Amino acid sequence: MATETPPPSKTPSRLPTTEEFVAVQESAEFGELRGAYRGFAFPLTVAFIAWYLLYVLLSNYAGDFMGTKLFGNFNVAMTLGLAQFLTTFLIAWWYARTAAAKFDPKADAIKSRMESGE
């Protein structure tokens, strides 16, 4: 019977003090990271909520339009409803790519400096 090797032990990271957290929060680097995140997330959130509310409003007040058949049994309402799912997945994919490329490296650098005590 083969024995399993234990996972490599991580060295315990140092817990930063409250003052260090405040200093990092007030730093230009953290402000830049927060600004980049907000510049990406907020407009996208507002756009998606507007898109969703448009769908709800059309469903409530434009029944004839939403019932218009496009092809087969698919009407405008079904097509826009499925587009809601598609845009949700596309936004999640886009956010994951952007976070991995832009936000995570900066956040990891800040975290490692805080844990090392620099």
What residue spans define the domains of the chain?
A: 18-116
pLDDT at 20: 82
User: pLDDT for 39-60, tens place per residue?
Assistant: 999 999 999 999 999 999 999 9
pLDDT at 64: 92
DSSP states along 73-105: TEEHHHHHHHHHHHHHHHHHHHHHHHIIIIIHH
pLDDT at 116: 78
DSSP, collapsed to helix, strand or coil, labels residue 80 as helix
Put residue 50 in one of left, alpha, beta given phi > 0 → left and psi -120 to 50 → alpha.
Answer: alpha
Residues of the chain falling short of pLDDT 50: none
The structure's pTM equals: 0.74
Give Cβ neighbours of residue 29 (< 8 Å, ≥ 6 apart): 106, 109, 110
